[in-house]
Every structure is written in structure tokens, then in C-alpha cells.
């Protein structure tokens, strides 16, 4: 599996890192570019409408992407649109951050989720039907433990700008304690060189709890016990930005691959 993953990684890192106009390696998935975003119907709805429905949180608690949308989602995430959509969100986040008068007491933080926010698992998902296959914990953990997930380039630009503006960065991820070391290595290798905190999930404490509960609780600790102010909060899941102590402003990055409640 390792070699295959590396080939995927190469292809998708080219697509995501350099913003090529058509940076898709056709070898990795039998994709065809559609002539327009409205051209692919699934049970009477288009895949593009399904995607917008997901982004605006109208379609919730879905387990897998619609089977008929595998090609559409693959084209979207490996093509320009995913990159462009991510760019717009990160750009708005930067405009907002720039407008803030950062008090220099070191307590202004920006919360980043990790998967599909900071690091991309596209090399994995390209190999697993772009979300058509039900979540496979074993296979996904195997991928995470390789520690080779590439940075999402538009998020990385925001990260660097926020550091320049004087924000402290807190990573808040659903990854478990057992994956903390490999996550630290992966973040550093991908160019995220500095942070205030990296919060991983205490799996025994949050067993059976939703991501909204886990993340709200950890953000509450940050603000109420540790005296931080969450100025911004960015993630690819609505569960990253709903709940309590969400931060002064939240940003939802695109993610048509999976849904975490």
C-alpha cells in the first residue's frame, strides 16, 4: 500500500500545492471533467446542489457521498474549484484577522482544525472513492500513521499571515492521543513550524460524545480556565464551529468528502 499512497501523494500534492490550472493526474482515478457543475444528476438532484447543500449545512449527518457523485467530487477536489473555494474562505479569514487590533498579551488565539483544514487527506481519499466508501478506521489510521499528509496550501498562507499579525495558533483535532507524535512530525514536515497548543482527543473521556461536545468543551477550557480569547476558528466541518465558545468569528472550509457530527 505504501508505494501506491506515495504515488497518490505526489499527484495530489502537485494539484494542491502549485495551483495548476488543470493539475489532475488522470492516472490516479478514472475521472472525466464535466462541462459544467450542473450536469450530473443524482436521484433528481445535481451533485453541485448536493455539495452546496452540504457547505451551507442543509444536508447533515450523511454517512457517505452519493454514489453517483464520486466522479463529480473527485473532479472537484482534484481540480481548481476546491482550491478556489478554499482560497476565498482563507482570504476572508485574513481580511477579518487584519481588522483586529491584536492586544499584545499573547492571549489572542486562532483555532485550527487539522484534517482537511491544515493537512489534506486527499491522497487517501483519492484511493477510497472520494467519500463513496464507508469510513474505514483501520485503513484511515494506517494512512495517518504514515505522517505524510500534505498541507492545504491556502490554509498554510493564512497560518503564516496570522503568525505575522501576532496571533497564537491552537490546533484542535479529533485525532487521538496515540496519533499525537506522528501528527506533530507531519505538521512540521508540512511547514507548520510553530503553535501554542496542539489538543488531541482524550478518547476515553469523550467516548460516545459528538465532535461538537468535545470541541466546545476544549474551547471552553481554553477561554475560561486558561484565559485565551478565541478571535478566529477555522475548520472544514460544521462541528468545528458550532456549539459554545466558537470564537468571535468562524470559517467553514469546503469538504465534500465526509461529515463528522
- CA-to-CA distance for 187 and 114, rounded, in angstroms? 9
Exactly one of 12, 13, 16, 48 binds a second copy (CB under 8 A); which one? Answer: 48
- CA-to-CA distance for 246 and 248, rounded, in angstroms? 7
Query: What is the rounded (10 degree) CA torsion for 144, 145, 147, 148?
Result: -60
- Does residue 84 belong to the site contacting a second copy (CB under 8 A)? yes
CB of 41 to a second copy, least distance (A): 9
- Does residue 80 belong to the site contacting a second copy (CB under 8 A)? yes
Give the number of residues in contact with a second copy, rule: CB under 8 A: 31
Strands 249-252 vs 229-235: parallel, antiparallel or unpaired: parallel
Is 241:250 a contact under the CB 8 Å cutoff?
Answer: yes
CB of 179 to a second copy, least distance (A): 28
Question: CB-wise, 94 or 206, nearer to a second copy?
Answer: 94
CB of 57 to a second copy, least distance (A): 7
Q: How far is CA 64 from CA 57, 60, 67, 136, 187, in A?
A: 15, 11, 8, 11, 27
DSSP letter assigned to residue 222: I
- Please provide residue 103's backbone torsions phi and psi, each rounded to the nearest 5 degrees: -65, 130
Is 75:68 a contact under the CB 8 Å cutoff?
Answer: no
- Does residue 245 belong to the site contacting a second copy (CB under 8 A)? no
- Does residue 55 belong to the site contacting a second copy (CB under 8 A)? yes
What grid cell was written down for 174? 479529533
What grid cell was written down for 101? 487590533
CB of 140 to a second copy, least distance (A): 25
Q: Which stretch binds a second copy (CB under 8 A): 54-62, 141-149, 170-178, 186-194?
A: 54-62
What grid cell was written down for 55? 457547505
Exactly one of 7, 14, 52, 139 binds a second copy (CB under 8 A); which one? Answer: 52
CB of 117 to a second copy, least distance (A): 13
CB of 43 to a second copy, least distance (A): 10
Exactly one of 73, 122, 252, 258 binds a second copy (CB under 8 A); which one? Answer: 252
- Does residue 45 belong to the site contacting a second copy (CB under 8 A)? yes
Beta pairing partners, 151: 119
- Residues making up the chain, counted from first to last: 261
Exactly one of 18, 67, 92, 221 binds a second copy (CB under 8 A); which one? Answer: 92
Exactly one of 78, 89, 152, 162 binds a second copy (CB under 8 A); which one? Answer: 89
- CA-to-CA distance for 102 and 115, rounded, in angstroms? 27
- Residue numbers of the site for a second copy (CB under 8 A)? 35-38, 44-46, 48-50, 52-53, 55-59, 79-81, 84-85, 87-89, 91-93, 251-252, 254
Amino acid at each position: 500500500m505504501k508505494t501506491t499512497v506515495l504515488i497518490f501523494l505526489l499527484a495530489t500534492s502537485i494539484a494542491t500545492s502549485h495551483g495548476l490550472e488543470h493539475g489532475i493526474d488522470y492516472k490516479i482515478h478514472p475521472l472525466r471533467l464535466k462541462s459544467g457543475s450542473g450536469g450530473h444528476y443524482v436521484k433528481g438532484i445535481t451533485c453541485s446542489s448536493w455539495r452546496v447543500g452540504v457547505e451551507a449545512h442543509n444536508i447533515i449527518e450523511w454517512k457517505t457521498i452519493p454514489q453517483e457523485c464520486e466522479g463529480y467530487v473527485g473532479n472537484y477536489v482534484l481540480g481548481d474549484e476546491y482550491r478556489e473555494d478554499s482560497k476565498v474562505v482563507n482570504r476572508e479569514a485574513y481580511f477579518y484577522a487584519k481588522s483586529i487590533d491584536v492586544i499584545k498579551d499573547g492571549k489572542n488565539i486562532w483555532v485550527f482544525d487539522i484534517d482537511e483544514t491544515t493537512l489534506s487527506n486527499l491522497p487517501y481519499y483519492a484511493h477510497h472513492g472520494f467519500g463513496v466508501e464507508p469510513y474505514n478506521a483501520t485503513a484511515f489510521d494506517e494512512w495517518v500513521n504514515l505522517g505524510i499528509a500534505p498541507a492545504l496550501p491556502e490554509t498554510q498562507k493564512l497560518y503564516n499571515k496570522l503568525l505575522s499579525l501576532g496571533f497564537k495558533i491552537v490546533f484542535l483535532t479529533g485525532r487521538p492521543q496515540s496519533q499525537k507524535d506522528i501528527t506533530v512530525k507531519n505538521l512540521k514536515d508540512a511547514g507548520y513550524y510553530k503553535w501554542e497548543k496542539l489538543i488531541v482527543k482524550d478518547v476515553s473521556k469523550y467516548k460516545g460524545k459528538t465532535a461538537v461536545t468535545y470541541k466546545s468543551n476544549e474551547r471552553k477550557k481554553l477561554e475560561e480556565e486558561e484565559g485565551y480569547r478565541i478571535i478566529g476558528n477555522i475548520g472544514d466541518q460544521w462541528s468545528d464551529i458550532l456549539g459554545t465558545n466558537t470564537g468571535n468569528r468562524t470559517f467553514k472550509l469546503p469538504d465534500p468528502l465526509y461529515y463528522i457530527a
